[in-house]
Every structure is written in structure tokens, then in C-alpha cells.
Amino acid sequence: MKKLQHTDPKGVIMSEQTEQLTELANRISRSTIAVVDAVTQRGGFKGEELSTIGQLRDQCVQAISLVEALQQEEALNVDD
């Protein structure tokens, strides 16, 4: 099985698997935020759980930001 590769903005070769993992992490993060927000609105967490839930949500926001930054850099390099 041949793996497709391309070079990212920093010159690092990324495999198709890496791209798929990045996209999956993005979808997981967005879904997790949606679930956390919905359960929080319904009062589904105990007070002592809120810190951990907040950290999880913050980590998901960071993951989305990283993916969006990579996608933006890649789009800029395609235009060049």
C-alpha cells in the first residue's frame, strides 16, 4: 500500500494518515465541545467535576485552533 505524502508549511512531510488523524482530532474536539456544552446546560455535572470538564473543553478548543492554523498555512502555501 503506497502512502501519499506532501510537505507541510514547515517543510515536514505529512502522510495521508497524519492528515486523516488531524481531521479526526478536529471532529472529535468539536463533538466533545458540543457534548460538554449540552450536558453543562442541563446541569449534568457535579461541582467537583467542573474543573476537569472545563480543562477537557479547553483542550478541545486548543486542538481545533491548531488544526485551523495548519489548514490556513496549507491554504496559503497552495496559493503560492
Task: Give residue 6's pLDDT band: very low, low, confident or very high (50, 70, 90).
Answer: low
Pairwise pLDDT comparison (79 vs 8), residue with the higher score:
79
Pairwise pLDDT comparison (37 vs 12), residue with the higher score:
37
Would you give the distance in Å from CA 69 to the centre of its chain?
A: 10
Say what percent of the chain tops pLDDT 90: 62
Q: What nine digits make up the cell of 17?
A: 494518515
Q: Comparing C-alpha atoms, which of 78, 68, 65 is closest to residue 7?
A: 78
Is the full-model pTM beyond 0.95? no
